[in-house]
Structure 1
Amino acid sequence: MAMQSLSTGLISFQQWAHLSTDAGHIYLGLVIFFVIALCHQRQLKSHYAIWAVLGLALALELFGARHDILERGYWRVTESVRNILHMSLMPLLIWLSAYYRVWRG
């Protein structure tokens, strides 16, 4: 019951903000990365921030896979890989740029 209300709330938020699910994944990954990087001393070079984004992306997709298997009878693997890439690509690029000092300063 709680998961259904959470899902309904997320869908209504996406409709209110005029976001697609792909954009929602991208923004969620960036928000998680920046919040954890802000709390950590190394900021954008924080290993915790990038691992949190990757862990959250995997956890959300495993939960989505459970839903797919129970509802459809099979797991949409390519869709899951695409969602993981959407959520983690931008934070990974920012983290790599900061870690290897692409921006001098």
Structure 2
Amino acid sequence: MSPLQATKLWLVNNLNLAKDALHIYVALGLLFGSALLFGWRLSSWKPWLVVAAGAVIGEIWDIRDRYVDGTAQNFAANVHDLWNTIFWPSVILFLARRTNLFRNSGKTR
């Protein structure tokens, strides 16, 4: 078992998460983390691209691990994981670009 698979299994078992939830948490962590770390706005394509790259790399790693382990490939599951990982960051990017939801109004409360 690769380190990635061992880490995912540990997180799922010890945090009582579904694998789908793990994809969402990692995606949002990458989106907000990269925006904070590099000072990017959520309306920029850059944080979204970090998530997309992470999702693709993760799925390639999963395909590789299945190949090495001699496990049958399930490309439909890979597509599902990509979709699941990219969905909320895509919604956030859309909202940041098309609404005032993520804009600083300059008002304090």
Task: Please indicate the TM-score interval, normalised by the length of the shorter structure.
Answer: 0.7 to 0.9
Structure whose CA Rg is larger: 2
- What are the Cα deviations for residues 2-52 of structure 1, in whole angstroms up to 9, with x where unaligned? x34x53343222222110111000110000000111234442112210001
Amino acid in the other structure paired with 2:8: L
- 1:29 equivalent in structure 2: 27
Identity level (%): 22
Superposed, which structure 2 residues align to 1:28-47 within 5 Å? 28-47=26-45
Distance 1:71 1:12 in 2: 19
Distance 1:40 1:14 in 2: 29
Counting matched residue pairs gives: 103
Superposed, which structure 2 residues align to 1:1-105 within 5 Å? 3-4=2-3, 6-72=4-70, 74-101=72-99, 103=101, 105=105
Structure 2: where are the runs of 5+ without partners?
none
Q: 1:101 Cα shift?
A: 2.1
Distance 2:6 2:67 in 1: 20
Higher helix share: 1
Moved more, 72-81 or 87-96: 72-81
Q: TM-score, normalised by structure 1?
A: 0.83
Q: Is this contact kept in 1: 2:40–2:46, CA < 8 A?
A: no
Q: 1:64 Cα shift?
A: 0.7
Moved more, 8-17 or 23-32: 8-17
Amino acid in the other structure paired with 1:50: W
Structure 1: where are the runs of 5+ without partners?
none
Distance 1:42 1:7 in 2: 30
**Residues 12 and 73 of structure 1: CA distance in aligned 2, closer, same or farther (over 3 Å):** closer
